[in-house]
Amino acid sequence: MHSKVIIVGSGPAGHTAAIYAARANLEPVLFEGMLAGGVAPGGQLTTTTEVENFPGFPAGITGIELTDKLREQSERFGTEIITETITRVDLSSRPFKLWREGAETEDPDTCDALIIATGATAKRLGIAGEDKYWQRGMSACAVCDGAAPIFRNKPLVVIGGGDSACEEATFLTKYASHVYIAVRRDAFRASQIMARRAENHPKITVMWNTHVIEAKGDGSVLTHVVLQDANTKETRSLDTSGLFYAIGHTPNTAFLDGQLNTDETGYLVVKPGTSLTNVAGVFAAGDVHDKTYRQAITAAGSGCMAALDTEKYLENLAAEEHERASGKL
């Protein structure tokens, strides 16, 4: 199957790109994936319960409801959505080639322009109780979830030792009664200014050489965690209503097999102020290249940019081909 535009990814970035591309009559095809990266179609947003900071929903909306609405809007304007995962691509020549999971030996799908919106998956620790209490007191995004009623005026725990952990702990002090940072080592990896800010905050306690080894609750929500001293191996319990992972994200770029430029942590690199990658005709949108903001609304804006950049690219491509056919090139 050949398409003008293929979008790989189904979060706010992918669907916003699809909406803009469809309204521009580019007839986009969107591969939303089948548990790609271990996450349902819709991306990280589907693992969030209440979304209260996306404009247009004053009463809030669940992550799944929001992704459903994005999907519905994409389809309304003519996007073809395919619930399959792209596992391999060839970007060495145009049209670009893409292979679906389980069909890697068959003829590929092809396209003139490609938008990568596969996002980034939050790293997890796999501790006991994690699956049971994820989004029932456990989260990987303090900015997304920290203001939820279940966390207000309650003790909260952040796991991590870098800038993200310090930033998220400081952010959570706006809502929590107290915030504990569990650091595996005896020092932060964070920058000095961020580390000092966390250590000196009256509502933050840093727990050095501490591992969180289990999440426990009442069967409905998280109520406490089990801590282990990294040196003595002694364990103790700490009451908390929230456990936030701040141990990083993994950009979902493995299927690209190094064909696009990435930074040292695997995030796609784009030309500043655009969605352009190092391969003409391939664009990046959302958290797959944004490791700073990682919000649904910024991802949506990034998807808009990618669609507009794609439209301009295809217009220029058509103009060049017309000139070539008429002998002007």
Give Cα separations from 309 to 65, 183, 306, 312, 314 (angstroms).
29, 42, 5, 5, 9
Of 112, 144, 287, 290, catalytic: 144
Among 17, 8, 25, 20, CA closest to 82: 8
Q: Is 166 annotated as catalytic?
A: no
Q: Is 111 annotated as catalytic?
A: no
Of 145, 287, 290, 309, catalytic: 145
CA distance 101 to 200: 50
Of 141, 166, 287, 309, catalytic: 141
* Furthest CA-CA distance within the chain: 79
Identity at 201, one-letter amino acid code:
H
Strands (E), 138-252: 138-139, 155-159, 178-182, 204-207, 210-217, 222-229, 235-239, 242-245, 249-251
**Which tokens sit at 143?**
């900015």
Among 120, 145, 121, CA closest to 243: 145
Q: Which residue is it, tokens 């200014």?
A: 193
What is the set of active-site residues? Answer: 141, 144-145
